[in-house]
Amino acid sequence: MKNSPKDGDMVFLKVEPIRGFCCCSDCVPELWTKINNEIHPQGPIEHEGFAVLTFHNEQLILEQHESGPELLAFLRAVTTMYNFLKLLFSLSIDSFIKKGATKINVTKRVITTKQKIVAKEIFEIDLNNKNEEELDKVLNKIIRK
């Protein structure tokens, strides 16, 4: 939050594999190479770092953590967040499956500008059923709820 302007409530979304493993750029390099290629020239995200990204005139922050990628945006950026989260999912899923994950958790936290958590939900996603239609349903549920 220290990297963001303080003009509204924010939402954090963390994507992490169940049967956890380290998700940093040293341990899952193909994921972060793909992400850095997608966010170029606004990146790259260095090891355990972050990038402030601008999509459709909205700013998002993408951070690299050992537990998984984390996305931060203001609540007003729902459509932008949806499109970027869909991209992040598709890149993460393939990399996580290669490392042996069969499920992922997406943790959603809504935080006020006074850093108070007002909502927290965890969504479990089975990677064995990852067709486009199912992914859209899950993403809509996560983002719009």
Strand partners, 86: none
3-class DSSP state of 92: helix
Give residue 7's pLDDT: 62
Give residue 4's pLDDT: 54
Give residue 1's pLDDT: 47
Rounded Cα–Cα distance for residues 60 and 93 (Å): 21
Nearest to 83 by CA among 123, 38, 33: 38
Nearest to 9 by CA among 94, 109, 97, 140: 109
Q: What string of pLDDT tens digits covers the 145 residues of the chain?
A: 455 555 667 888 899 998 889 999 999 999 999 999 999 998 899 999 999 988 778 888 899 999 999 988 877 777 777 778 888 888 888 899 899 998 999 898 888 767 787 888 998 888 876 677 877 788 888 877 6
Kindly report whether the peptide bond that precedes residue 5 is cis, defined as omega within 30 degrees of 0. Answer: no
Give residue 49's pLDDT: 94
